[in-house]
Chain A
Amino acid sequence: DTAVSQTPKYLVTQMGNDKSIKCEQNLGHDTMYWYKQDSKKFLKIMFSYNNKELIINETVPNRFSPKSPDKAHLNLHINSLELGDSAVYFCASSPHSSGGGSYEQYFGPGTRLTVT
């Protein structure tokens, strides 16, 4: 019954590797997001997709590539991992707001990525 799920929960990998994180929501929402939370708990948006279309890309290095096969899934692929990529990555979803502003967002449990 989990609304927003992410896999894996933990990911430990070496510098230079390529890894993917998967996200799925069963809420019927049109919009999905990827956030990065650093060691100081600062949460920053990376990407947003609405119905499989990219609508926000917040100056994230192009080593990060989101992919949305359908509106219920948003995956994040990271190439050539660096030490600074270590963080907790959160997926979220929300209903789409066509009139601007934002509805509340529903977050997944997070994926803790550690790059060694």
Chain B
Amino acid sequence: SQQGEEDPQALSIQEGENATMNCSYKTSINNLQWYRQNSGRGLVHLILIRSNEREKHSGRLRVTLDTSKKSSSLLITASRAADTASYFCATASGAQKLVFGQGTRLTINP
């Protein structure tokens, strides 16, 4: 069953702007992860945030987690053309299993 739902499904912004993607989920989680997928490639892990964490940073990435609202957001600051990709959230609820959302397709226009 699909757990995470990303919003928006597609996002197009100008280079240099910030991009925000949201993820909502339904059940309790151990952690939530964000992945990037470039066209025709495999997924690349970006960041993992545990259920007892509220915010995490990695370079130009900022992830927040609100377990009371069952939602997370991924912010990419100062976007670059190379950030063009699909971004997926994935929830971990135990048993070594990740459940992925349907992804946000991000396009950065030069």
Contacts and interface: CB of A to CB of B under 8 A. Distances in A.
Interface in A72-116: 90, 92, 94, 96-97, 100-110
B94 A100 contact: yes
B42 A41 contact: no
A94 B102 contact: no
Interface stretch (B15-23, B43-51, B66-74, B75-83): B43-51
Contact residue range for chain B?
20 to 34
B2 A100 contact: no
Contacts of B95: 55-56, 100
B97 A102 contact: yes
Contacts of B48: 103-104
The interface centre, meaning the residue of A4, A41, A108 with most chain B CB atoms within 10 A of its CB, is A41
Contact of B30 (A96, A101, A108): A101
B88 interface: yes
Given A102-B30, A102-B92, A45 B98 contact: yes
Given A55-B95, A105-B98, 16 more contacts: A31-B96, A40-B102, A41-B103, A41-B105, A45-B97, A45-B98, A48-B96, A48-B97, A90-B43, A101-B31, A101-B94, A102-B98, A104-B33, A104-B45, A104-B48, A110-B40
Across chains A and B, which 5 residue pairs bring their CB atoms closest together, nearest first? A101-B30, A107-B42, A102-B92, A104-B45, A100-B94
14 contacts: A31-B96, A41-B103, A43-B88, A43-B100, A45-B98, A56-B95, A56-B96, A56-B97, A100-B30, A102-B31, A104-B45, A105-B33, A107-B44, A110-B40
